[in-house]
């Protein structure tokens, strides 16, 4: 059991008696960190959550955002880290299953999946390769089968994830604005109907499992991993959306972490009602299961529906057509008690509010470490060589090996596809486009959590702007080690402050999120690098053209935003020079906002033929990436880059935020638009030829052939994964 002595005492006080075994198990699941956010809730209030487009903010199964024309987009993000470390295929699959349920449970149709993956170094670790390969296959098999395209993501490899990989999955849904369904029991007499797969012993105690470190070695935790069934999920999606769209559902809640315990206590406490449930009616998969296991099982592909009894018959008919099992397990009652029976006998009688509202845990925050001195700069290898080494880094090279395994086309909505532009773009039924991207940078976050937190939001916003989108909403996922460690808690606090401050500054509401603690290496007890993830969606008012991030012959190249000497945590420092430390890039929300608006407009109007943000690997890598698709070179003068005086490595590889590269046939018009918007920019070169050359005036800084650029960047991941 994961409850502390203090929590157990509090429960006894609340009830005025000793709880029985089933009741303890319910509290254990619902008061776990995973379900209750007891270490983080207070701090998460810092995020701005309101905005003119926000219809439903944090605290529900999914955030809901108005995208105009009577439509709304729903967003949710989750992780399945511990299950994926134990069983990469099953863990990743059920992660997808879980996030899909959240999107369905607000009555919206899932239209896109996004995944963010963090693994150990595949160049050194066979174990990480094995995990990665099977996680990708798990996501692919599940997403492809349910018919929801996987359209975007972000991948980072770092040794801190060797024993604790991160598998984050996010989902975007689409609904009519007025038809959002909530998981609240508001009408006494409503039927509680359990829909979908049967309840087995898989995933028993999964929420508690997620709320501690992977202790005894992964094998002992296999039973805590759920079993995926994408076919059942597909039927569940089709059946539930059919009844939801017909207006037959009064409330809905997915069964995820904590299983029935969480679902029942939350619908009751949120709706201000009680529930009376006969657990003997739950269809079980294995003989001999008792009430405790039934309440805490996390078997997949299950939903709880709240139905007006008058409409129950019509719902049952539709579910039967899809051969989706369903059982009435109880009723909503007045009052606030969660009464559970086992073959008629009351086995649990708890106040729902008490179960759903775990007490917060005050955590200690460690002192900020002393400012580390700037690391000494070792002798630098030739810059052309460094550029090619960066392009072949698993953190930078082409992601084709991954995204080609995902069906990213199903649904006829994917306009900008993975690999074509900085963010993927979905076509919406109102004629608008939705740009989608998730980002994070654990190296920046590890050196400076505050800047890293702001930076991941900035990077996602840039990617969205580079395809013409105006950022409208964000969901976040915050992943850290054990929060009782004051240093981990300090990282967490500073990350949230950094992210929240940036969101505030650019006017970006946060509509949902997740926190995952206890991500650490079992052997050494060392926590992962702090890993905040931001998924940002942006709106393209009228979608008419396809975004591109590739050069074409004869175009001029414009650098947007200032490059600063910020090599701390850069791929150049860590991969090429082996240096850890230095100044981490700082994001300036006010300057960035102006750049987002101006760049997005240039992209939408076609003045910019292509656009790409500068992030990992810096300006040099960004230019090289734009050369690959059309196999065309460019000549760039580094002396013209906006910003102060920079060394050549800084100019090429600094990872300063707020920067874009544009290619255009109309540099005068693009420049003047940027100037009017108050955004620093300069024409720095021209596209053409078979080489990529960086110069300073007449002096050559680096020169590589386009073939070597493409060769370095295109293949490494596929070769590594085989």
Partner 1 sequence: MAARVAVIRFPGSNCDMDAVQAIRTLKGARADLVWHEDKAVSDYDAVVVPGGFSFGDYLRAGAIAAKSPAMERIRKAADQGLPVLGICNGFQILIEAGLLPGALLRNSTLRFVCRWTALRVDSDSTSFTRRMRKGQVLHIPIAHNEGRYYAPKGDLARLSREGLVVLRYCDEDGVPSASANPTGTSDNIAAICNRAGNVMGLMPHPERGTEPLLSPSGSDDGALIFRSMLEAA
| 3-class SS of residue 384 | helix
- The catalytic position among 76, 80, 82, 408 is 80
Select the residue interacting with partner 1 from 195, 235, 383, 627 (CB under 8 A).
235
* Residues with Cβ within 8 Å of residue 550, at least 6 apart in sequence: 610, 626, 628, 629, 630
Closer to partner 1 by CB, 43 or 135: give it: 135
Select the residue interacting with partner 1 from 412, 524, 676, 698 (CB under 8 A).
412
Segment contacting partner 1 (CB under 8 A): 229-237, 330-338, 390-398, 695-703? 229-237
Closer to partner 1 by CB, 269 or 398: give it: 398
Structure letter (DSSP) for residue 8: H
Could you tell me the smallest distance in angstroms from the CB atom of residue 527 to partner 1?
34
Burial of 419 (0-12, 13-18, 19+ CB in 10 A): middle
* Residues with Cβ within 8 Å of residue 317, at least 6 apart in sequence: none
- The catalytic position among 34, 76, 612, 657 is 34
Residues between 120 and 139 that touch partner 1 (CB under 8 A):
137
Closest by Cα among 589, 584, 651, 586 to 622: 651
Interaction between residue 605 and partner 1 (CB under 8 A): no
Could you tell me the smallest distance in angstroms from the CB atom of residue 554 to partner 1?
20
Any alpha helices (H) in 343-441, and if so which ranges? 352-356, 383-391, 400-403
Closer to partner 1 by CB, 147 or 375: give it: 147
Interaction between residue 435 and partner 1 (CB under 8 A): no
CA distances from 377 to 112, 567, 577, 686 (A): 44, 11, 8, 32
> Distance (Å, rounded) from C-alpha 546 to C-alpha 417?
9
Could you tell me the smallest distance in angstroms from the CB atom of residue 56 to partner 1?
26
Whether 80 sits among the annotated catalytic residues: the reply is yes
Could you tell me the smallest distance in angstroms from the CB atom of residue 19 to partner 1?
41
By DSSP bridging, strand 470-479 and strand 166-176 are: unpaired
Any alpha helices (H) in 448-565, and if so which ranges? 449-466, 486-506
Helix then strand count (H, E) for the chain reads 25, 26
Interaction between residue 197 and partner 1 (CB under 8 A): no
Give the binding-site size for partner 1 (rule: CB under 8 A).
34
Select the residue interacting with partner 1 from 213, 389, 405, 647 (CB under 8 A).
405
Could you tell me the smallest distance in angstroms from the CB atom of residue 147 to partner 1?
3
Interaction between residue 231 and partner 1 (CB under 8 A): yes
Closer to partner 1 by CB, 410 or 522: give it: 410
Structure letter (DSSP) for residue 87: -
Interaction between residue 198 and partner 1 (CB under 8 A): no
Could you tell me the smallest distance in angstroms from the CB atom of residue 412 to partner 1?
5
Could you tell me the smallest distance in angstroms from the CB atom of residue 70 to partner 1?
19
Which x/- pattern, by CB under 8 A, does the window 534-563 give for partner 1? ---------xx-x-----------------
Select the residue interacting with partner 1 from 55, 241, 360, 410 (CB under 8 A).
410
Please report, in angstroms and rounded to a whole number, the separation of the first and last CA atoms in the chain: 42
Q: How many CA atoms lie within 13 A of 714 on its CB side?
A: 11
Secondary structure (DSSP) of 637-679: EGGGSSSS---HHHHHH---SS-EEEEES-HHHHHHHHHHTT-
Q: How far from the centroid of its chain's Cα atoms is residue 202's Cα?
A: 25
Could you tell me the smallest distance in angstroms from the CB atom of residue 141 to partner 1?
8
Could you tell me the smallest distance in angstroms from the CB atom of residue 169 to partner 1?
17
Interaction between residue 451 and partner 1 (CB under 8 A): no
Instruction: Enumerate long-range contacts of 133-137, CB under 8 Å, 24 or more apart.
Output: 133/88, 133/721, 134/88, 134/89, 134/92, 135/84, 135/88, 135/89, 135/91, 135/92, 135/165, 135/167, 136/92, 136/402, 136/405, 137/89, 137/405
Interaction between residue 110 and partner 1 (CB under 8 A): no
Closest by Cα among 53, 141, 131, 60 to 97: 141
Closer to partner 1 by CB, 10 or 137: give it: 137
Whether 326 sits among the annotated catalytic residues: the reply is no
Select the residue interacting with partner 1 from 406, 480, 573, 713 (CB under 8 A).
406
Select the residue interacting with partner 1 from 12, 45, 50, 321 (CB under 8 A).
321
Which x/- pattern, by CB under 8 A, does the window 341-370 give for partner 1? ------------------------------
Segment contacting partner 1 (CB under 8 A): 190-198, 224-232, 512-520, 638-646? 224-232
Interaction between residue 417 and partner 1 (CB under 8 A): yes
Interaction between residue 407 and partner 1 (CB under 8 A): yes
- Helix (H), strand (E) at residue 97: helix 88-105
Interaction between residue 604 and partner 1 (CB under 8 A): no
Interaction between residue 426 and partner 1 (CB under 8 A): no
Interaction between residue 179 and partner 1 (CB under 8 A): no
Q: Per the structure block, which two tokens stand in for 360?
A: 């917060």
Find the Cα–Cα–Cα–Cα dihedral 421, 509, 172, 658, rounded to 10°.
10
Interaction between residue 323 and partner 1 (CB under 8 A): yes
Could you tell me the smallest distance in angstroms from the CB atom of residue 388 to partner 1?
24
Interaction between residue 420 and partner 1 (CB under 8 A): yes
> Distance (Å, rounded) from C-alpha 452 to C-alpha 462?
15
Closest by Cα among 606, 493, 482, 596 to 539: 596
* Residues with Cβ within 8 Å of residue 668, at least 6 apart in sequence: none
> Distance (Å, rounded) from C-alpha 539 to C-alpha 68?
10
Could you tell me the smallest distance in angstroms from the CB atom of residue 562 to partner 1?
34
Could you tell me the smallest distance in angstroms from the CB atom of residue 140 to partner 1?
5
Three-state SS string over 185-231 comes to CCCCCCEEEEEECCECCCCCCHHHHHCCCCCCCHHHHHHHCCCCCHH
Closer to partner 1 by CB, 81 or 226: give it: 226
Closer to partner 1 by CB, 408 or 657: give it: 408
Closer to partner 1 by CB, 257 or 411: give it: 411
Select the residue interacting with partner 1 from 322, 325, 470, 666 (CB under 8 A).
322
- Helix (H), strand (E) at residue 695: strand 691-696
Tokens 């399945």, residue?
80
Interaction between residue 316 and partner 1 (CB under 8 A): no
Interaction between residue 414 and partner 1 (CB under 8 A): yes
Residues between 496 and 535 that touch partner 1 (CB under 8 A):
none
> Distance (Å, rounded) from C-alpha 170 to C-alpha 536?
11
Residues between 143 and 172 that touch partner 1 (CB under 8 A):
144-147
Closer to partner 1 by CB, 23 or 229: give it: 229
Q: How far from the centroid of its chain's Cα atoms is residue 176's Cα?
A: 24
Residues between 385 and 404 that touch partner 1 (CB under 8 A):
403-404
CA distances from 678 to 454, 506, 595, 655, 672 (A): 22, 16, 8, 22, 10
Which residue ranges make up the site for partner 1 (CB under 8 A)?
137, 140-141, 144-147, 229-232, 234-235, 321-323, 403-412, 414-415, 417, 420, 427, 543-544, 546
The residues that are catalytic are: 34, 80
């Amino acid at each position: 059991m994961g409850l502390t002595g203090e929590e157990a005492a509090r429960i006894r006080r609340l009830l005025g008696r000793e709880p029985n075994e089933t009741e303890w198990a319910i509290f254990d699941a619902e008061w776990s960190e995973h379900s209750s956010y007891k270490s983080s809730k207070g701090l998460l209030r810092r995020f701005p959550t309101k905005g003119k487009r926000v219809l439903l903010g944090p605290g529900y199964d999914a955030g809901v955002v108005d995208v105009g024309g009577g439509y709304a987009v729903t967003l949710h993000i989750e992780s399945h880290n511990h299950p994926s470390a134990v069983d990469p295929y099953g863990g990743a699959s059920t992660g997808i299953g879980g996030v899909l349920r959240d999107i369905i449970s607000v009555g919206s149709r899932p239209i896109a999946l996004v995944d963010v993956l963090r693994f150990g170094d595949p160049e050194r670790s066979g174990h990480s390769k094995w995990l990665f390969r099977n996680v990708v296959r798990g996501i692919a098999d599940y997403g492809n089968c349910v018919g929801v395209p996987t359209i975007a993501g972000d991948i980072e490899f770092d040794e801190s994830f060797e024993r604790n990989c991160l598998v984050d999955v996010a989902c975007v849904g689409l609904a009519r604005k007025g038809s959002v369904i909530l998981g609240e029991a508001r009408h006494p007499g409503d039927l509680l109907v359990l829909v979908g797969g049967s309840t087995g012993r898989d995933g028993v105690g999964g929420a508690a499992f997620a709320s501690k470190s992977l202790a005894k070695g992964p094998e002992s935790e296999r039973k805590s991993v759920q079993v995926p069934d994408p076919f059942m999920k597909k039927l569940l999606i089709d059946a539930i959306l059919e009844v939801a769209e017909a207006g037959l559902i009064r409330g809905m809640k997915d069964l995820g972490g904590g299983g029935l315990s969480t679902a029942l206590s939350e619908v009751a406490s949120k709706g201000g009602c009680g529930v009376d449930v006969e657990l003997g009616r739950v269809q079980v998969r294995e003989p001999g299961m008792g009430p405790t296991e039934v309440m805490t099982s996390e078997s997949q592909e299950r939903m709880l529906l709240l139905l007006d009894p008058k409409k129950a018959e019509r719902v049952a008919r539709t579910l039967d057509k899809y051969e989706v099992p369903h059982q009435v397990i109880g009723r909503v009652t007045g009052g606030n008690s969660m009464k559970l029976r086992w073959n008629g006998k009351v086995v649990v009688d708890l106040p729902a509010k008490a179960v759903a509202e775990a007490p917060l845990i005050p955590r200690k925050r460690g002192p900020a470490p002393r400012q580390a001195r700037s690391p000494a700069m070792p002798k630098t290898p030739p810059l052309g060589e460094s550029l090619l080494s960066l392009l072949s880094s698993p953190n930078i090279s082409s992601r084709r090996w991954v995204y080609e395994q995902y069906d990213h086309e199903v649904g006829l909505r994917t306009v900008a596809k993975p690999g074509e532009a900085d963010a993927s773009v979905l076509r919406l039924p109102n004629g608008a486009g939705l740009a989608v991207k998730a980002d994070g940078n654990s190296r920046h976050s590890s050196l400076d959590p505050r800047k890293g937190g702001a930076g991941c939001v900035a990077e996602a916003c840039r990617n969205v702007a580079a395809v013409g989108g105006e950022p409208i909403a964000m969901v976040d996922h915050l992943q850290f080690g054990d929060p009782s460690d004051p240093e981990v808690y300090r990282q967490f606090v500073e990350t949230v402050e950094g992210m929240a401050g940036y969101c505030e500054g650019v006017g970006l509401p946060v509509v949902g999120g997740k926190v995952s603690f206890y991500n650490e290496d079992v052997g050494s007890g060392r926590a992962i690098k702090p890993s905040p993830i931001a998924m940002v969606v942006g709106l393209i008012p009228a979608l008419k053209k396809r975004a591109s991030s590739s050069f074409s012959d004869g175009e001029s190249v414009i650098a947007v935003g200032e490059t600063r000497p910020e090599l701390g945590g850069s791929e150049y420092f860590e991969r090429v020079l082996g240096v850890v430390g230095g100044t981490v890039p700082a994001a300036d929300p006010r300057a960035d906002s102006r750049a987002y608006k101006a760049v997005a407009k240039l992209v939408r109007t076609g003045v910019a033929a292509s656009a790409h943000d500068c992030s990992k690997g810096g300006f040099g890598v960004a230019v090289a990436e734009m050369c690959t698709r059309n196999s065309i070179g460019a000549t760039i003068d580094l002396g013209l880059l906006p910003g102060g005086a920079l060394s050549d490595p800084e100019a090429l590889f600094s990872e300063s935020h707020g920067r874009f590269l544009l290619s255009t046939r109309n540099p005068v018009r693009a420049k003047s638009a940027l100037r009017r918007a108050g955004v620093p920019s300069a024409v720095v070169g021209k596209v053409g030829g078979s080489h990529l050359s960086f110069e300073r005036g007449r002096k050559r800084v680096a020169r590589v052939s386009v073939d070597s650029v493409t060769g370095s960047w295109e293949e490494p991941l596929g070769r590594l994964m085989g």
